[in-house]
C-alpha cells in the first residue's frame, strides 16, 4: 500500500479523459472480483474515448498521483418505493480507488473513497443541483456497500439472485 501525500487535491471534473494519462495505468483491483474488472474496463474505455458519455471526477493526492475515479450520468430511477420514476437522476456508473491506496487512511481517519465520493457528490450538486443519486452494487461487494452507507445511500435489495442492489441517496447537501 502506498502512503497518501496529504493534503489531497480537491476532487475535480476531467473534461477530456483521453488527455488524462494517469487513466492508462489505473487499476482498482487484481480483477479477482467482477466489479474490479468492470471499473477498470470502463476507465480504459474512457481513456480511449470509447465509453458512453459520462462525467468523470478524479481525486489526486498532494503529489498529483491519481487516487481514485468516479463517473456518473443522468438516468431514470425506477425505484420500487416511489409512485413514479424519478427522471434525470444522477447515476454513479463507477467508483474506484487505485489499488495502491486500498486500505489507506487519511490523517483524519477517513478512507480515500470517502473524499472521492464526497467530491463526486459535490460535482453532481454543482452541475445538476440537489437530486436523488443512485448506484447499483453487487450484493457481495461489501466495501462498496460500506462506502455508500457512510454517505447516506439507502439500500434496496435485488429481486433475484445475481442482480445488483440499488443504493439511493435523497437530495441532500454533501
Ligand atoms: C469501493 C472502494 C472505492 C472503497 O474504497 P475506500 O472506501 O477508500 O476503502 P477501501 O476499499 O480501500 O478499504 C475499505 C476496507 O477494506 C479493507 N481492504 C482494502 N483492500 C482490501 C482487499 N483487497 N480485500 C479485502 N479488504 C480490503 C481495508 O483495509 C478497509 O478496512 P477498514 O475499513 O477496516 O479499514 C474500493 O474498495 C474500490 O476501489 N473497490 C473496487 C471497485 C469497486 O468495487 N467499485 C464499486 C462498484 S462501481
Total length of the chain: 174
Question: For residue 2, what pLDDT is reported?
Answer: 86
pLDDT in tens, the chain (174 residues): 889 999 999 999 999 999 999 999 999 999 899 999 999 999 999 999 999 999 999 999 999 999 999 999 999 998 777 889 999 999 999 999 999 999 999 999 999 999 999 999 999 999 999 999 999 999 999 999 999 999 999 999 988 898 999 999 999 888
66: closest CA among 19, 100, 107, 16?
100
Angle between helices 142-150 and 112-128 (to 10 degrees): 60
Q: Which pTM value belongs to this model?
A: 0.96
How many angstroms does the Cα of residue 150 sit away from the middle of ligand 1? 13
Measured distance CA(118)–CA(12) in Å, rounded: 11
145: closest CA among 71, 95, 79?
95
Ligand 1 probe mutation, 34, 100, 103, 106, most atoms within 8 A of CB: 103
Cell of 32: 479477482
Nearest CA to ligand 1 atom 25: 143
Instruction: Judge contact between 11 and 95, C-beta under 8 A.
Output: no
Q: Is the CB of 91 under 6 A from ligand 1?
A: no
Q: Is the CB of 103 under 6 A from ligand 1?
A: yes
| Helix, strand, coil share (%) of the chain residues, nearest 5 | 30, 25, 45
Ligand 1 probe mutation, 67, 97, 143, 151, most atoms within 8 A of CB: 143
Amino acid at each position: 500500500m502506498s502512503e497518501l501525500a496529504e493534503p489531497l487535491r480537491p476532487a475535480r471534473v476531467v473534461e477530456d479523459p483521453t488527455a488524462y494519462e494517469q487513466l492508462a495505468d489505473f487499476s482498482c483491483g487484481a480483477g479477482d472480483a467482477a466489479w474490479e474488472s468492470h471499473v477498470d474496463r470502463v476507465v480504459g474505455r474512457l481513456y480511449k474515448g470509447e465509453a458512453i458519455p459520462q462525467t468523470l471526477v478524479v481525486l489526486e493526492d498532494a503529489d498529483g498521483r491519481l487516487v481514485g475515479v468516479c463517473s456518473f450520468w443522468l438516468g431514470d430511477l425506477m425505484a420500487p418505493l416511489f409512485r413514479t420514476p424519478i427522471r434525470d437522476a444522477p447515476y454513479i456508473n463507477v467508483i474506484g480507488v487505485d489499488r495502491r491506496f486500498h486500505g489507506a487512511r487519511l490523517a483524519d481517519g477517513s478512507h480515500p473513497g470517502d473524499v472521492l465520493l464526497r467530491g463526486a457528490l459535490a460535482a453532481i450538486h454543482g452541475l445538476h443541483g440537489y437530486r436523488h443519486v443512485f448506484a447499483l452494487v453487487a450484493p457481495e461487494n461489501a466495501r462498496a456497500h460500506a462506502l455508500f452507507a457512510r454517505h447516506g445511500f439507502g439500500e434496496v435489495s435485488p429481486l433475484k439472485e445475481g442482480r445488483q442492489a440499488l443504493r439511493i441517496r435523497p437530495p441532500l447537501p454533501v
